[in-house]
Structure 1
Amino acid sequence: MSNKDSEKKSSKKQKKPNRVKQRKRGLSMLKMLLIATLLPLIMSAAVMTFINVRNSNESIEQSVKDKLEIANMQFNRYATDAYIAEGDEAFTKANKDYSYVDSYKENKVEFTIFLGDTRALTSLKDDSGARIEGTKASEKVIEDCLKNGNHFQGSNVKINNKAYYVDYLPLKDANGNIVGMTFCGEADIVVTSAANKTAMSIILTFVAIVAVFSLLMWIIALRIRKPILSISQSLEEIASGNLTAEINVSSSIAESFTMFNSMKNVQRDLNQIISKIRSESSKMSDKIKATESLSQSSSEAAIRISNSMEDLSSGAQSLASNVNDVNDQMKQMGDRVTDIENNIDGLTVNAKNMNNVSKDATHQMNIVMKSSKEAVSAVNSIHDQILLTNDSISKINEAIDLIIEIANQTNLLSLNASIEAARAGEAGRSFAVVADSISNLSEQSNESAATIREIANEILTNSRNSVNLAERIQLAIQNEQDAITSTQDKFTELEGSINTSVSEIKLISDKTRELNKIKEDLLQHIDELSAISEENASSNEEVNASLLNITAGLTEIVDFLSQMDALSNDLEDSVSHFK
């Protein structure tokens, strides 16, 4: 009992609850809340900003066109009245009146009067400050407005290398004949600047909105996160075994408050359950020890009674011992003969099976040898094909050398052409462009050829490795064929030995059957003598057997109580983790 108790105490010391700390994975709740709220907001703001900026640009562009159309209509009436009053002289005389065309300069609006397709009076000036009078309108404007008499509007129209939003109206005389055009335009850069300012104001507005909402969501997320974090820390304390930790959580969120109450209830219930388990486990351990001691005493008493009964029955058993010994020995001899006979039959069957298996194995080895030869033939074919591939790669390298040589010659020709174009001056400029293109093409050809050469060399290296691998496979298959041939020879020798063993086993089987017949006759006479002695000892054996059963039952009870005590200790160890 003392040994068992020490073993239990040592095992109890070794058993300690192990907790596996979980590593934090994934995003925190604060980040998830911010992502879930701010990401849709930012995406929506970006889409709305894009739509508003696009609509604003379209609106600004349309307002510019409307403004130019109205201004040009007024300017066209002014030009028509002046032309009817004075004719071409009104716009071609030396002291022209620029007051009207320059009146909208502060508003970045330009005016021009065309006589025919030529600018006669304009507010447009070049970089030197001179008015660009005497220049022509574009072919599209001439065709659409001057010839067909249509109202023409456009954007990004180049005038003196500057982009304009333009509006053209036909200029007519008193008879309604088209004698020219009136132009009203605004520089594209002015419109773009206004559109950019509008877009920037829209973007800044949406950025401010996103910033305000982000701050608001940050505050809300913190208010949601704080109670949940406190609950998580409290649960960690409970998981570590501390059931006495004080749980203090304050939150204005109903769900968090409900979770807090539920956790406090769980803590209270765990405290009650663990306390009850400890109390009952201690009581059960005491009762188990008392029962174990009583069972041990009863087992020892039963063993002493069994020893006494054995002493009483020893005299009766000695009377039949000689007969029983002879009977047992004869039975053992008979069993041995029977076993030998059975073993010989088994050996005969096994020998025949081994003979059949040997034949099957020889047949399978022939099939393997045939497959190995086919594999050798296939590897040889692969080896030859790889060598042909190496030859083809060598031809590719020769073709690459030819391409590089042609590219070098082309580059030299391009250089000579550039020199000749430089000598030719302005007349050879287009030829110089062609020479540069040829030179670039030559350099690209050189680079492509170098790339192809690298790829071809890499293929050649891989192909050589494949050749080496094929040769190693050939050597391995040859070694395999040699091993298979040697194994076939061993199977042939084994088949002859098995046939010889079958013949010898058959002779032994015949002799064993004769011995078995003699054994049966002897056993019949000995059984008659043994029956008398067995009747005398049967009563004592029954009593002894009953005592042994009682002893075995008590031993089982002791073992069962030991297991119960171990379970009680395990249960106490399990709850010792909690405070």
Structure 2
Amino acid sequence: MQNKRFSVKARIVAMAVIPAVILSAVILVLGILFMKAGMEEEIQKGLMASAYVYKDIAVHVTDREAGDNENETMLKDLTGYDYTWFDGDTRKNSSLGSSVIGTKAADGVIKEVINNGHTYSSTNTQVAGKPYFVAYVPVKDDAGNVYAMAFTGVSRESVSAQINKSIMIMAIISVALLIVAVLVAFRSATAMAGAVGEISKSIKALADGRFVKAKKYLNRNDEIGSALNDTNTLIDGLKEIVGNIRESASAVGTSSGQLSDMANQISQTAEDVSNAVQEIASGATQQADEIQNASTNVGYIGDAVGDVQTSTSNLESLAGKMKEASEVSSASLSSLQESSGEMTAKIDEISETIHRTQDAVDTISEKVEGITNIATQTNLLSLNASIEAARAGDAGKGFAVVAQEIGKLAEDSKIMADDIKKQMEELLEQAGAAVVAAKDVKDANLEQQASLGETIQSINGMINDINDTVGGVQTISSGAERCDTSKNAVVDVMSALSAISEENAASSEETGASMQELSATVTTLAGSANGLKDIADKLNRDMEFFKE
């Protein structure tokens, strides 16, 4: 059993999850950094804006006593910032409490704001012994001289707490989205691996000679579902064709066995007839030599003529049977040749079906390539969207998350498309191997057709020889009848009887030669029949590779 660590499902999940985890971690870290920097910048802007508002409010209540912190406390409750009014460089009113009243600002603040008349902001300035985000705004009189400062600040501790809270929320959302992505990837990988496994199971069974159709995932509306249904169609076609080939091979084996037995029987009969004809020829020659002294043996001659008539009648009947048997053999071989032609056509249909499967796989590969291109373009669009979202600041945060997810989905699609393409290439290689196997079967079948054609020609030649033999036998029968008619007038027609005897001897010799040729032809036919039987046995052994 294949190790699960190397299964298609595990690889798909790993290729989908590992990059997603790494990408999520990188984006989360970058998001935290950008968010932290953005929040600090926004706080600085907010502090500066609050300082200007506070200045506009405080310039109208400058007659307050030092330590009257009511306005500053109220503003802190409303905004969460600390506010301090400086009389020159000295704190007069502050939400920080009475402990800071009468203390002076830092030297750098005094130089920048009081002396130079500029605003001052910082992310790490010590205020009341704590680090603060601060904003100082100068307050000028009509002559342009700075006579006071408005301060707004917030402790780094509270800012850090707010930032950490936002980071925690972002991390939780990222982890949740990552878990959802992993679950989706796992489910998709499970379905895809199962479908590919069904195809692999069917092809593996076909390689073992078994016809096993896929039963699951047939309702998928994608290319894998089409591949599963096409595989089942291919298996049905191959099963039907192999069944037809098996039946034809069995018929060839049976017919070749019958033909071989019949040829052996005809050979034995031809040998017996040849021996009989040789005996007739020998008797006719001896009769011609002794015909002058045969007057007293006319009765014996009549008996011999009767024997010749009987033999020729039997020979004519036997030759007719041989002709009928040869015609039956020729018809059987012609039928076998037609079956072999049909089998060649079926093999061509197999090759055409496999070629159509290869064309379908090529089409699938082109579509997968298109999916890969779309995933690449989608990934670029996602990256551009992320950049634009970062530029938008807080307003683009939600869009940045969506862009991030689109980028992950595009990468997942590209990885899955690449894996499908690899599987299709393997299927294409296996279909090519099937085409080669079909061509080998077709070549063997064509060789069989050639052998059948030669055998049919041999049998047709044998039929012609048998027709000649029948003619010779009829000639012998005719001569025997004339001998029987003339036996009572043998003395008067001795010369004619001698000529007839010589004619009988010549006919017997011709018949003997024809029977020898017939015997040789039948021997050749028997050899061809045995060769045909060997071909049929080999074809049957090849068909045993395929199981029902």
After TM superposition, the score normalised by the length of structure 1 is 0.40
After TM superposition, the score normalised by the length of structure 2 is 0.42
